[in-house]
Amino acid sequence: MAPIGSEWIKIDNFNPAGERNTINLQTQIRPNTKTRLLHAGIKVFGDHGYIGGSVRSIAKLADANISAVKYHYNSKTELWKAVVSYLYRELGQEILKDEDRWANMTPRERVVNTTGNYIRFSAENPELYRITLFEMIHQGERLEWLSKNHMREFAERSMAWISIAQDNGVYPPGISPLNMLHITMASCQTIFLMAPQIDHSFGVNVFDKAEVEKHIDAVIRVLLSNEVDNPDAG
């Protein structure tokens, strides 16, 4: 979330091969059944969680037979894992997408860049945050799997980046990287979780492109230190 320079830590499963490919299930170019099930799973699990999301609903949205889920993913659980893994790969790819430009950026500019990318991803893929929250509420084996395979590594890498950013004067000093990470994540994501309430109360669509960019600016202004980059660091 806050890559600085030579200290940037590569994460193999955050830099997947292949193109970023967000599927519109209604597109005229019909994706294959496995892909349709994956993206239907994102929608259904994002709206209802694992427990509330049925295989029947996923198959119906994907315009596929229920038996196709077992054929392509073996089980509802394996489909859920595929959905989560896909979203984390997409997240990593979005964070890394401007890596070739980082050499010409200051530490602060890199943090601004990756924070913007993270928020845009969160706006385009609110399902990842929702799916995670469902598992936080219910706890159990899926949360354990989620933590072991994705959440812990993401958090550890992010805290390392935050610590480096603090050394460069980008984030305020004296705040635990663990606290800074979760303050940052909540600041970036929560507005999209609260989208229905904000729409009903204020008539604001937080997913509108202009609103997303406004939110990026607000988060950066609130969280980042006003100090200039350390020219001797990174």
Which residues have a Cβ under 8 Å from the Cβ of 38 and sit 6 or more positions away? 23, 79, 82, 83, 86
* Residues 79-129 pLDDT 10s: 999 999 999 999 999 998 898 898 899 999 999 999 999 999 999 999 999
> What is the distance between the alpha carbons of residues 177 and 148, in angstroms, rounded to a whole number?
20
> Domain 12-223 is of which CATH architecture?
Orthogonal Bundle (1.10)
Model-wide pTM > 0.85: no
> What is the distance between the alpha carbons of residues 210 and 230, in angstroms, rounded to a whole number?
32
Encoded amino acid at 177, one letter: P
Task: With beta carbons less than 8 A apart as the criterion, state whether 64 and 36 touch.
Answer: yes
pLDDT recorded at residue 7: 36
pLDDT recorded at residue 99: 87
Q: Which three-class secondary structure string do you get for 3-21?
A: CCCCCCCCCHHHCCCCCCC
| Low-confidence residues of the chain: pLDDT under 50 | 4-23, 25-28, 229-234
